[in-house]
Chains A and B, each alone.
Chain A
Amino acid sequence: MAQSPMKLMVANRSEIACRIFQAAFEMGLKTVAIYAPGDEGARHVTMADEIAEIPSYLDAKAIVEVAKKLKVTMIHPGYGFLSERSHFAKMVEEAGIQFLGPRAETMDAMGGKIAAKEIAEKIGVPTVPWAKLDFAKSSMADIEKAAKSVGFPILIKAHAGGGGKGMRRVDRIEDLKEQAESAGREAVNAFGDGTLFFERLIENPRHIEVQVFGDGAGHGIHLFERECSLQRRHQKVWEEAPAPHLSDVTRKGLYESALKLVEYTKYRSAGTIEYLVDSKGEFFFIEMNTRLQVEHPVTEAVTGVDLVHEQMKLSLAALGKGSYELPKLDRPHGHAIEVRVYAEDPSQGFIPCTGTVNHLIWPSGPGIRLDRGVEVGQVMGTSFDSMCAKVITSAPSREMAVKRMQFALQETVISGIGTNIEYLAEIARHPKVIDGKVSTHFLDQEFGDFAPMPDAFEFELMSAYDSVGGGAVGNAASNTSNSATPSQVTTNLWSAVAGVLK
């Protein structure tokens, strides 16, 4: 028993499983991959020492049973799937297996938005201010007092509300009386309930989060912040570290409050504290993600800390293999950006694109990291998440990290399936993104009607190439000469397309 090998199972798939397998190799761990039916062709399945089929990535019981059978010593849950299900963490630990994440109790405490908010308020971490009052029973003084405690601008909402009824925006205390009375009347008339909520309206908020790591004994560190404001319906698209245009005061406040939460919860392993930051730099805790996040590579790039190694070292120490010491960090070094490449069509409501990957050209070069889950020949279906890869660039300055992202994306080709690469490339070229001045509304406002179209020259060149027989998949002909014949040209759409655009 003394020298039985440490064996790590990744209870996940695709790029994050691949990334964790790399870390496992580096740490000298044996590896186990799992796959659900239909996912046999996924890249991560090729990377482990042992593999096992499970009915579903959400089948906690089956996964733990396989882990026990294969004498797994550690399970990394990745992100998504079971990563934040406390019952899974509990089952894993009850089976005598290390869970590379927080304890089940921490997930229960911090996993729910309301419960987490209550903890935050209790220990003095700012949350979005709000107040509740019964309009019928409140004097104007009560209303003013509630409004002042919340702070302007205020959104007044009817407690029983819906459909915008009873909802008012109030920017100044001078307007409060009139707006509150009108909202109160409307609430009583519409819902028979005059209970009003005052909530601080956070305009053009930025989504900024702090990476934390705890040793599970009440000690923790923060690994600085990430800016994740570029989101589409709460799905992050572009993440970076550190956050641009953030004052030292705000930064310090974010770090201090994040550490308070880590220490209070005796947080174990990697986690993220998410905040909204308003235009004045005031910040509000929104939730905690009790897992390794998709965007963790940008933090790794600016800190030099391998977060997955840290998770493994902490678990190894718990198994009696060495001792664990938290990394010591002074400041972030340079700047890093991550984009998420999805097999989806941004011009058609982000509908997933299916098909077989027939060619891949990946970017490489200084400061480019690629975490990927796809291979040539892989079938992209609709049963699993459509993320293909994450492209991460890092450079000494933000300006260069953005340039590097533009370069990396122009070097990336995924053929056989549609992707959001052009969407990402246009984001990387947008002046506001280049300036780093964005809010969570940016993508919906600026990229709502995204529909890329080649210009005339581009069409013409591709068309000319097609007309001489180039581009056919599986056609190994190289050094194609320009020997277009009339019959080829007439069947060639691209010549036609080019003509109109001229």
Chain B
Amino acid sequence: MKYQAKLSGKKQEWTDASPEMAKDWNFEKRPGGWVIATNEKTQERVRFYYARAKQQFWAKIKGQDFYGERLPVTRAGGGNDSASDFTAQFPGKVRKIMVVDGQSVSENTPLLMIEAMKMEFAIKASNAGTVKKVLVTEGQQLTPGQKLLDFDDTAARSEKAADAKK
């Protein structure tokens, strides 16, 4: 099973894990918002903060502050839920579309240029793959969460996963 998270601007792909920990820890949400986690076996006590709204989360634990995104789950063995998640993160505008439907691209190929906050950003292919469908047009205003294109990189991801196993 594969998952993705985005923290500090970096996408991280993770393989499955066990939820063992949830068995050992008790969580108490305190007035004010802090959570106190207590380990029943060791009596260890940890204070943290964790809030999630849809995919986005904000957390604070052991004095460290984090925020990021949980990206859609990738099904085991690949599938249509692409790990390469091309959704608009900010309100912005499509400046330029550099690919056409059905085009095969290599990793890091710029696909779209987006203008947001007076800056231009290139949306690049995170893996080699095929542009199945461009879902936006040049000049279009984007709202956060809006999908930009359908992209199939199943092959590249299975290859990477196979490499990782070795």
Residue ranges of A at the interface with B (Cβ–Cβ < 8 Å) = 345, 347-348, 351-355, 358-359, 361, 382, 406, 409-410, 412-416, 418-419, 421-422, 425, 450-454, 458, 460-468, 470-473, 477-482, 484, 489-502
Contacts and interface: CB of A to CB of B under 8 A. Distances in A.
A492 B19 CA distance: 9
Given A348-B8, A493-B73, A461 B65 contact: no
A422 B65 contact: yes
A498 B32 CA distance: 27
B63 interface: yes
A347 B8 contact: yes
Given A410-B63, A413-B60, A464 B19 contact: yes
Contacts of B86: none
A359 B33 contact: yes
Given A345-B9, A425-B63, A479-B28, 17 more contacts: A354-B91, A355-B56, A358-B51, A361-B34, A415-B51, A421-B65, A460-B21, A464-B19, A464-B21, A465-B27, A465-B35, A465-B48, A466-B52, A466-B57, A478-B28, A493-B3, A494-B70
A354 B90 contact: yes
B136 to A, nearest CB: 20
A452 B64 contact: yes
A458 to B, nearest CB: 5
Interface in B43-71: 46, 48-53, 56-67, 70-71
Given A415-B49, A465-B27, A471 B57 contact: yes
Contacts of B59: 454, 458, 462
B162 interface: no
A416 B27 contact: no
A458 B84 CA distance: 26
A348 B116 CA distance: 14
B85 to A, nearest CB: 13
- Shortest 7 CB-CB contacts between residues of A and residues of B: A499-B17, A347-B8, A496-B3, A410-B63, A451-B8, A348-B9, A422-B65
B64 to A, nearest CB: 6
Nearest to B25: A464
Nearest to A479: B28
B155 interface: no
A492 B71 CA distance: 11
B32 A361 contact: yes
Give the bracket for the number of chain B residues in contact with chain A. Answer: 35 or more
A412 B63 CA distance: 9
B73 A461 contact: no
11 contacts: A354-B90, A358-B53, A361-B32, A425-B64, A453-B8, A461-B25, A462-B48, A462-B50, A464-B22, A489-B19, A494-B70
Interface string B70-102: 110100000000000000001100000000000
A395 to B, nearest CB: 18
Contacts of B160: none
Given A354-B90, A467-B22, A422 B66 contact: yes
A498 B29 contact: no
B21 to A, nearest CB: 4
B33 A361 contact: yes
The prevalent SS among residues of A at the interface is mixed
Contact of B117 (A351, A461, A473): A351
Contact of A361 (B49, B57, B90): B49
B37 interface: yes
B10 interface: yes
B16 interface: yes
B140 interface: no
A500 B14 contact: yes
B51 A473 contact: yes
A414 B60 CA distance: 9
A421 B59 CA distance: 11
B92 to A, nearest CB: 10
B28 to A, nearest CB: 6
A258 B18 CA distance: 64
A484 B65 contact: no
Contacts of A351: 117, 119
Nearest to B10: A451
Nearest to B63: A410
A425 B15 contact: no
Contacts of B28: 478-480
Contacts of B27: 464-465, 468, 470, 480-482
Given A410-B63, A451-B10, A495 B33 contact: no
Nearest to B37: A461
A355 B145 CA distance: 13
A47 B91 CA distance: 30
Contacts of B67: 353, 418-419
A413 B52 contact: no
A496 B53 contact: no
Contacts of A489: 19, 22
